[in-house]
Amino acid sequence: MGMMKKTNLNEWLNESTKLLAEQSELASLEARVILCHILDKPREWLVTHPDFELDDHQTDKANQMIARIQTGEPLPYLIGKQAFYGLDFKVTPDVLIPRPETELLIEECITWLEEHPDRRKLADIGTGSGAIAITLADRFEDLQVTAIDISGKALDVARQNAQLLNVDSQIVFIKNDLLDNIFDSFDILAANLPYIPSEKLITLQVARYEPLLALDGGQDGLVIIKRLLHQAREHLKPGGMILLEIEEGQSESVQKLVDTLMPGVAKSILIDLANHPRFLKIMV
């Protein structure tokens, strides 16, 4: 057997950052996240131990993860978690990876709930990893949440997240197709539904690894949103709010839908930090 070769932590970070830089603006951060995961150390530890020697096994494991990222595999699936609104969520390929844009939906809900302290029933439709349901339950301990998803595997992940973050007593999880046969009504309906047009989806990198069920919005991207808007009236309490994430090109078409399906309600489009139309907000 030859000598065991050692790799210095800083050298590995520099090399890996170069490899990832071609496809990621966050190359240096991603390389650090991989090392933290493999060494089971916090990020501060890397800074204070630049000369730490990785053994063969650690180096191989880290290099394999770099190679998988280079083929386009999302980092959160490799390490099994994603941060969202200050909380860590377990993620698997059965759920969509929570996105920073969705934090804007959280902000809107927080503002509304703070202004309406007596309104505490929320439905998160298409809950996925549970990011929306759990973040809001964590913020408001008197919030009662119904988290709905058509995917049993996604609900398993969401349930685990609710337990890990100690909010499972506030959330009822239901395997269901939108609001079909649900007889309850809510103060807020929040949903990040599939909204990408089928044809466009085929061309997108995200479709290679993330669940198509969570992305495919049918021919115009609005098939599922349309169904929910159709159901929404009878499940929203008077004075309630609906918040739906949309694709940037859907701003006009989704507002026309609202005029047809829910005439007379107040509606607006919220812009995200990248200046794209991102949410449809309806006040009844």
What confidence score (pLDDT) does residue 5 get?
Answer: 58
Question: For the segment 180-212, what is each residue's pLDDT rounded down to a tens digit?
Answer: 999 999 999 999 999 999 999 999 988 999 999
CA distance 89 to 108: 21
How far apart are alpha carbons 235 and 184 in whole angstroms? 6
Q: What is the pLDDT of residues 10-40, one digit of tens each?
A: 999 999 999 999 888 899 999 999 999 999 9
Whether the pLDDT of residue 244 is over 70: the answer is yes
Q: What percent of the chain has pLDDT over 70?
A: 98
* Confidence at residue 7, expressed as pLDDT on a 0 to 100 scale: 86
The count of residues in the chain is 284
* pLDDT value at residue 20: 94
Give the pLDDT band of residue 179 (cuts 50, 70, 90).
very high
Residue 143 near residue 113, CB atoms below 8 Å: yes
DSSP-assigned states of every residue in 141-162: TT-EEEEEES-HHHHHHHHHHH
Token output for 204: 């997108």
pLDDT at 266 over 60: yes
pTM of the model: 0.93
Residue 113 is predicted with a pLDDT of 98
Cβ atoms of 16 and 69 within 8 Å: the answer is no
**What does the mean pLDDT of the chain come to?**
95
Give phi and psi for 178, each to the nearest 5.
50, -130
Q: How far apart are the C-alpha atoms of 223 and 281, rounded to whole Å?
A: 18
| Strand, helix or coil for residue 193 | coil
Nearest-CA neighbor of 269 among 256, 253, 251? 251
**pLDDT band, residue 3 (cuts 50/70/90):** very low
- pLDDT value for 17: 95
Task: Using the predicted structure, report yes or no on whether residue 162 has a pLDDT greater than 70.
Answer: yes
Report the DSSP beta bridge partners of residue 243.
190, 281
**What mean pLDDT comes out for the span 154-165?**
98
Tens digit of each residue's pLDDT (9 = 90 or more) over 120-129:
999 999 999 9
- Which domains are assigned to the chain? 7-72 (1.10.8.10), 81-283 (3.40.50.150)
Query: Can you tell me the distance from the alpha carbon of 90 to that of 56, in angstroms, rounded to the nearest whole number?
Result: 28
31-76 pLDDT, tens digit each: 999 999 999 999 999 999 999 999 999 999 999 999 999 999 999 9
Question: Residue 2: its pLDDT value, please?
Answer: 38
Give 224's pLDDT tier (boundaries 50, 70, 90).
Answer: very high
